[in-house]
Amino acid sequence: MAEPGPSSTAIPGTSEVLFFSSLHGERRRAERQIDRRDLQAAVRYGKKQLAKRDPETGAIRWKYTYADIIYITDETSTQEITSWVAPIGIPHAELTLKQIGEHEAAKQRLKNDPSLCTSHTVIVVDQSGSMRETDVADFYNRSQAVFGMLAMDFVAKPRLSGDATDTDVVSLVVMQGSADIAVEKEPMGLVLYNQFVNLHDTGAPQFHGNFLPALDIAEELLKSQAHGECALSLLFLSDGRPSDYSYANHVGITTSYPEVVETILGRVTNLAEVFGEQLSVVTLGFAGPEQDFTVLERMAEAARDGGSQGKFHRPELSSRGLGTAIADSISSLTATRLRLTTLAGGNNQRRELRQVEREAPGSHWGRAPTTAQTGDGWVVYSSSVEGYEFSLEAMKYSGTPWVPVELFSEKANGIAIRSKSLGQGAERLVFGLQEVDLRSGELVGPKLVAKESKHIGQETMKIQFHHSFAWTQLEAQRMAERFNHRVRFMLRVIFGDDCKHRVWDISFLPCSVYTFLEGGVNRSVLVEKLLVGRYTKFNGNNGYVHGGQGADPAGASAAEPAAGLMRARADEMMGAIDEEEEDSDSDGEVPIIRGGDEDDDEDDDGTSVGALAGEKAEGGPTSFDPEPESYVQAFSHFSYRKSRRKMLVCDLQGVQSTSCIHEDRAGVFELTDPVIHYRSASGRRQVYGRTDLGKKGMRKFFETHQCNDVCRLLGLASWESKGHVGGGVPG
């Protein structure tokens, strides 16, 4: 194996584009030679040097260097003793005074106005002793490979392509026995590139790799970048399991390895719950096939469970493998950044994020009622507290959708809101809320949650801010009622009136808006009941499917080979939709899902249920035993079909609850915060709010959706395959 050494001589100051372009070309040429071993050509054309003698016999050996491969031969130059790929040389960039000045100016601008920052990536790199292993194909050791590829693929390539600018910043945490910040909020560019090259040259892996100290620092760095349009990313690279257990016992702290792992996963879940879809987490295991990376894999899963994007990679021990994994993390970050820009309306105006602490897991409020006292974790409001409900009928006849309603409890004459948040989504913060009997000072009624914008601004205080959220949730519930009815109806059609199947219902929480005065200013929050149980995101508005191979909750689609086929099928379907004649209903009217079930004897394409039942009798299901989550995924497909391909309800999240044995259903999915993608005939965008991605969102759903037994029961899969929207389309 080659001896480690400094990188190539610094290249004189030149433009960033020319430097990175030259670097990219040299690397590609080097990689093409990796698998080409030709001793005869090396002896004939290569550089010949005297190598170290045989340590046992003292015999002469020769060293030949040719096409980036080093050969060691015997004295006759005919017998190859060993060979290896020469480590890829990574040159330093010699910066001009102008380039240094521009970099410092960019860094100062971001310090003065953090809202200008478009992304912040925190990279945690394992520098424990095992990173000295010399098993990487084209670098001296694992440490050099990681820092070298971060310089070339994380900095140089995105800067060259334009995917990164000096408003994208990077922090680096070096993980050993403790954890230290090696780079803090450095703008993408030549200075950051040189910092990674320096670490490539001088990195000294040693000691253990303790995950928890590194996660603590990573959390602080991520939280220091607060505004809502900044895409956040955690890239966690390690070549092994966490050593925290061994270290804790060494310093006298009694713990077990499973306890350490659960603590690590809890930290990641908490991060995901705090930042939601603003954060992507990529874990990367960089070692041989025998290494156990279960913890890194579960960290990515914990991020997904918490509502963020989470991916795990295990690349081959080469620059190519590592580069591919790093490129995917950049893709995830770019997707998050673009999505946040879309949510912001595509303008340059940054919205300031509210600074709110998070409620501690298992806090007292979540377990038992508490006397409502300001200063006891509650803020009590008693002035002008009123409740309103969203009504389509009121919107149609009076022009305003809000009608007054009573509070949940007859005793209530005020409300109390927790000062710390329970979590956040793409647009809103969630707080605990309970109604208050001000006469007794006690909390009354059920536990509720209050949702409001996570950005600062007077417009977000008004009741109109909640319009699209309440409207979307009401429309989703109307569609859910049709879905529940249809499932039962088709079971009777297929299996007879004595059908014993117990189904899972879909239900969206009813919501209302509470308005009140705070310091003489009107404030409003959207109110729902508190969901109790394991909160799960079942699918997303970007193709994500819980437990599937689609996109992650907040980021780009998966890169598996099947993804290309699914995209092609979705494109075929969307192309067929574009060719269809638009429905006659005016797009100028408010799009409303048709109510009632009077059309359940005929499908929207004119197929009668009787005919459909005949098909099922011939080749359809003879048994029906779907997984519970099949109902959720089928509901999204059903919403697209039943709205005549104008709407698709997705981003389904909530709690799965089992029903009592005497009920006619197995249980219910209580859902909240759905997204409706609306296909507008007139080209209107974001009809149902900022998360409405229109036809693009529909395509994302069908890229990853796999029809299940519930889809087939409802005739959705067979309907798609009849040519209505293209024969090869996934149901």
Q: Nearest 5°: phi and psi at 65?
A: -115, 120
State the DSSP string of 29-83. Answer: HHHHTTT---HHHHHHHSEEEE-PPPTTT----EEEEETTEEEEE-TTS-SEEEE
pLDDT (0 to 100) of residue 426 = 66
Q: Where do the structural domains in the chain lie, given as residue ranges? A: 33-85, 119-343, 477-510+533-724
DSSP string, 475-502: HHHHHHHHHHHHHHHHHHHHH-TT--PP
pLDDT computed for residue 335 by the predictor: 72
Is the dihedral angle over the CA atoms 675, 680, 683, 684 positive or is it negative?
negative
Give the pLDDT confidence of 183-195 residue by residue, as tens digits.
999 999 999 999 9
Q: What is the mean pLDDT of the chain?
A: 80
pLDDT at 463: 80
C-alpha of 575 from chain center: 28
Segment 34-69, tens digit of pLDDT: 444 578 888 988 999 999 999 999 999 999 998 778
Pairwise pLDDT comparison (312 vs 348), residue with the higher score: 312
Over residues 659-708, the pLDDT tens digits come to: 888 788 999 999 999 999 998 877 777 888 878 888 989 999 998 899 99
> Whose structure tokens read 């060719």?
579
**CA 332/CA 693 separation, integer angstroms:** 18
Say if CB 513 and CB 526 are below 8 A apart: yes
Report the C-alpha gap between 417 and 591 in whole angstroms.
Answer: 34
Least confident of 22-31, 111-120, 318-327, 661-670: 22-31
In terms of Cα–Cα distance, which of 210, 202, 228 is closest to 173?
A: 210
pLDDT classification of 28: cutoffs 50, 70, 90: low
Mean pLDDT of 122-145: 90
pLDDT band at 617 (very low <50, low <70, confident <90, very high): very low
**Taken in order 1, 238, 340, 675, is the CA torsion positive or negative?**
positive
Q: Are 299 and 253 in contact (CB under 8 A)?
A: no
Helix (H), strand (E) at residue 572 = helix 561-579
* Top-confidence residue, 578 or 331: 331
pLDDT in tens, 155-174: 988 888 888 889 999 999 99
pLDDT value at 250 more than 90: no
Encoded tokens for 345: 């309306």
Biggest alpha carbon–alpha carbon distance for the chain: 101
* Class at the top of the CATH hierarchy for domain 477-510+533-724: alpha beta
**Six-digit token pair at 383?**
């002035």
Whether the CB-CB separation of 595 and 684 falls below 8 Å is answered with: no
Is the pTM higher than 0.75? Answer: no
What is the torsion angle, in degrees rounded to the nearest 10, for the CA atoms of residue 604, residue 605, residue 610 and residue 611? -160
Q: How far apart are CA 506 and CA 491, in angstroms?
A: 16
Pick 119-343's CATH classification: 3.40.50.410, 3.40.50.1820, 1.10.8.10, 3.30.70.141. 3.40.50.410
What is the mean pLDDT of the segment spanning 94-103?
91
Triad 487, 658, 546: Cα angle to 5°: 75
Token readout for 118 is 């478009």
pLDDT digits 0-9 by tens, 68-92: 788 899 999 988 888 777 766 788 9
